[in-house]
Amino acid sequence: MAGKSYCDLGCGTYHPYGISTIFYLNGAVSTVGLDVEDADEIRAAEALYDLLIDCIAYPEKWCWEANMNRAEFVERARSFNLNALQNGQLRAGIGDLPLKHVVTDIHDPVIAKESIDIMSSRAVLEHFLDFGVAVDRLFALMRPGGVAYHHIDLADHRAYWRNSSYHRWSFLAENDDWSDNLTNRLRASEIRPYFEKTGFNVLKYEIIRKTMPKGFEQYLKGRFRSMSKDDLEALTVFCILVKP
């Protein structure tokens, strides 16, 4: 981790520095959190304060880099302005430490090409409606030898807030021209070729499946009608990518 740069793709509103901070404490030279929405500064500051206090109190739980000395780990945690964070002052709490939060999307050239060594995301990639362009941009951001870990949620996101009306496969019964402007509806078998075509080496591609509601297959439309049951029932992809 020492000397590496880390990017949290889709860092969120309420704890945008959380994962970046753990990477920094474990030796990252710089971090950047990217999201399309700004941070809730007070809540984010308090969340970061709680995390740092836990890191200082229990370094054995958070210090996972073999070459990171525990004393240096704790010293890095104490380099934040803990008083400012406790009082809800996010920017003052970060100070001049090499942790950035950028409100942007990946199509905006704010982040320099080949500037990221390690990237991760959770439930982000399914929101890229032009997936091919997005993957090309992610590839460009990574340095040669860079590693990316992505957790991709393939479910109909309407099921998360309107579960009385929708389940996790409902959008597979929509017409081909349908869009909620939120998810791209790509299935697991369609996603991997984008990574490979762009140039990533796929080191891991784990698919988690669940059983569709009984009788739902008769409502499938468009290209989904010709897909295998295994592909249709895939709900989550965990992948590790390397840029050669």
In a domain, 32, yes or no: no
In a domain, 203, yes or no: yes
Beta strands in the chain (DSSP E): 5-9, 30-35, 99-103, 116-122, 142-153, 201-209, 234-242
In a domain, 236, yes or no: yes
Give the pLDDT confidence score for residue 234 in this predicted structure.
97
Domain that holds residue 148: 107-244
In a domain, 101, yes or no: no
205-239 tens-digit pLDDT: 999 999 999 999 999 999 999 999 999 999 999 99
In a domain, 28, yes or no: no
21-80 tens-digit pLDDT: 999 999 999 999 999 999 999 999 999 999 999 999 999 999 999 889 999 999 999 999
94-140 tens-digit pLDDT: 999 999 999 988 777 678 899 999 999 999 999 999 999 999 999 99
- CATH code, domain carrying 224: 3.40.50.150
Residue 155 main-chain phi, psi, to 5 deg: -80, 155
What lies within 8 Å, CB to CB, of 89 at 6+ separation is 41, 45, 81
In a domain, 210, yes or no: yes
Q: What share of the chain is helix, strand, coil (3-state, %, to 5)?
A: 40, 20, 40
Give the pLDDT confidence score for residue 109 in this predicted structure.
65
In a domain, 79, yes or no: no
In a domain, 114, yes or no: yes
| Domain total in the chain | 1
